[in-house]
A and B are shown apart, each in its own frame.
Chain A
Amino acid sequence: MKSPSMRHNESSSLRVRALRGLGVALLVYTFAMTFGVPLGPGLERVDVLRSEITENGGAYELQLTGVGTHFADTASLVFVRSVGSFGQDPAILNATAIKAASNEDLKCRVRLPKYVPSQAWDVFVNNPIDGTISYANGFFAEGVQPTPKAGLKDDRAVLSRLAEADLPFHFPFQPNIMESIRNLMLHVPMWFTMFLLMGISFAQSIRVLRIGGDAERDRKAVAAVKVGLWFGVLGLLTGSLWARWTWGAWWVDDPQLNGAFVTVMVYAGYLVLRGSIQDDAMRERLSAVYNLFGFALLVVLLMVLPRFTESLHPGKGGNPAFSSYDLDSALRAAFYPAVVGWMILGTWMYAVALRIENLRARLGEAKRTAPGFAPGDAPRPNPSAAAHRAALPALLLPAQASGLEAFFVADGKMPVVAGVAVIIVAGLAVWWALHLAKLRALRRELDRLNPEEPAS
């Protein structure tokens, strides 16, 4: 009689089911928020139409292009701010001759002295309908001198005259990112989930080494890595799509991307290492040692080193988390539930993967003890591998760049969000389809081998 405890794991307890229900509810909420909440008004472009440089400084005529703004319906205040070098008080200057051509079009004039804290200026517009909207580094003043000790006539008083707007619940508008800010709820939690799963694997590997010869914990470690890698690859694909239409390239040199790449490679190496060792006890031990070594180094490399490097990702150069500037309260209300929801889904998938690993182990055991077992049964060809190979050329077709560009950048880059959602949903659907089929196949085979002890 084999251990009956294994079979009891198959049915999930009430608490686990409740948690999974919560996860599904959170994901429904996430998708509703991601696609339902409108985007606030914002500045899309700041152009310098004309500039006059004299000995006393420069006068610049700016054209501001807004999205969802109401420049013509109300009077707006426009001012520019320069932070200058680190630690300085920001300099603030009012713009004059503010003229609205339409609701999305505003012209104004900015006068700068010859010596300024910095040539890069943030542009702000305030009015009673749209509130305060801004474009960071929107305006680069050619022809004036940046010096660290520039004395400026400061129009700080404008800050007390700003109008408060009563906007509906919305996500903040950021130039260039635009609608694709919604990807925050889809792309970023992939990495959070992956790290949770790799953490589970790390913890199980520690116990493998401490207790020794524990096949169950080894299976837990490998199941977590397999699911985590799936999330990692989805994170890479979605990130690549997002990067193409905001940063202009499928892949860029960025500490965060290097970290993601290294992580996926390390865990792929983990699976390769496991595959190359025949002896069970040796495999448990060696892969656990590698897992611990890899994870510990990754934490240092990904959490510590990026703090000292410039990055395109938000909140870098000092702080690998979101600052209040990047993540406002509306995004928080959608983002944190999304992270929890994706994590619950990740642990659910981990449970399924673990069940498959356990069944596989039981099957191996059953085969060894089954009557008429001949070592070296030829493995059947994997049908899904052939399907993968057939699907590959379609993915590698050269993209029609101009057509793609028009498609993805339309509608404030909303198609990027849709693309990211499709990648994730399709990727997870494929995972579930493959693994549920595998689970069924394993159960059937196990039932065939010892019919008196059904697996399902």
Chain B
Amino acid sequence: MRQTLFLFRHLVRTDLRATHGVAGLVLFAIATLYAVYQVVRGRPEPDTWNAMAWVILLFTAFNGVSRTLEEDRPEVLAYLRTTVQPVHYMLARMLHNTAILAGLACFVLAFMGLLLGWAELEGPRLWGFVAGMVLTSIALGTTLTLLALIAARAGAGFGMTAVLGLPLILPIVLVATTLGDDLMRGVVVADTALNFAFLGVLGLGSGTLGVVLFPYLWRAS
């Protein structure tokens, strides 16, 4: 656990030292949102709002996860392989990705509210939507981390992550959009709780799978 936290802290510190990585993600999210704003102009329909929120989150997630870190350079990897256990490394990577995605999700939401209004969301349903987005980012983060590492190992970049990842996250997106749709239509948070549970279980499940499978990836020469 201490090793995981140490690695996580290290990843965060690397990000803080070279802020252009994260700043690039934020800029990407803002630019996408602004493009959408230009197309929609004003207050979109709740359905459109919902669809756009998730699509923007999805795009940002793919970008965020398939960023190349200092750690992905072969010489750094070779050093890490002799000093760190794969389980801890994977957990730290997942934690790092999830934290970034969750932060980005909140940022995207806030910015959407600023530009496009809140559609029909208010009160507890708004907070439900935020919670749903955070849970989705966790599920996306855990699923995509392993796939991005596979793609990086294959020597193919962003495109490969999308090819491998998009079909697998489709069900997550389905659950998430259903949840968003429910909240948009005024369903009480408690009545759509099952969808929250699904998102949580999906995140947990893919996280566990990733941690179990990653050591095999780690050993691959």
Contact = CB atoms under 8 A, between A and B. Distances in A.
A294 B168 CA distance: 7
Contacts of B217: 285-286, 289
Interface in A241-296: 258, 261-262, 265-266, 269, 272-273, 276-277, 281-282, 285-286, 288-290, 292-294, 296
Interface string B141-175: 00100110011011110001001101110110011
Contact of B167 (A265, A277, A285): A265
A293 B213 contact: yes
A297 B168 contact: yes
A273 B164 contact: yes
B154 A276 contact: yes
Interface in A289-318: 289-290, 292-294, 296-297, 300-301, 305, 308
Contacts of B171: 258, 262, 297, 301, 305
A282 B27 CA distance: 35
Given A285-B217, A290-B150, A276 B156 contact: yes
B198 A265 contact: no
B55 interface: no
B84 interface: no
A297 B205 contact: yes
B180 interface: no
Contacts of B154: 273, 276-277, 282, 286
Contacts of A209: 213, 216
Nearest to B178: A309
Interface string B19-57: 000000000000000000000000000000000000000
Interface in B162-197: 163-164, 166-168, 170-171, 174-175, 194
Main secondary structure of the interface of B (DSSP, over half): helix
B142 to A, nearest CB: 11
Contacts of A286: 150, 153-154, 217, 220
A378 B27 CA distance: 46
B212 to A, nearest CB: 9
Interface residues of B, number: 32
B221 interface: yes
B210 interface: yes
A305 B216 contact: no
Contacts of B150: 273, 286, 289-290
Q: What's the interface size class on A, roughly?
A: 20 to 34
A269 B153 contact: no
A293 B166 contact: no
Contacts of B146: 289, 293
B206 to A, nearest CB: 6
Given A266-B167, A297-B209, A305-B171, A277 B220 contact: no
Given A276-B160, A286-B150, A281 B220 contact: yes
A305 B160 contact: no
A297 B155 CA distance: 24
A293 B143 CA distance: 9
26 contacts: A209-B213, A262-B168, A266-B167, A269-B164, A273-B151, A273-B160, A277-B155, A281-B220, A282-B220, A286-B217, A288-B216, A289-B146, A289-B216, A289-B217, A290-B147, A292-B209, A293-B146, A294-B168, A296-B209, A297-B171, A297-B205, A300-B202, A305-B171, A305-B174, A305-B175, A305-B198
Interface of A: 209, 258, 261-262, 265-266, 269, 272-273, 276-277, 281-282, 285-286, 288-290, 292-294, 296-297, 300-301, 305, 308
Q: Nearest 9 pairs between A and B by C-beta?
A: A265-B167, A301-B171, A285-B220, A266-B167, A209-B216, A269-B164, A262-B167, A269-B163, A277-B154
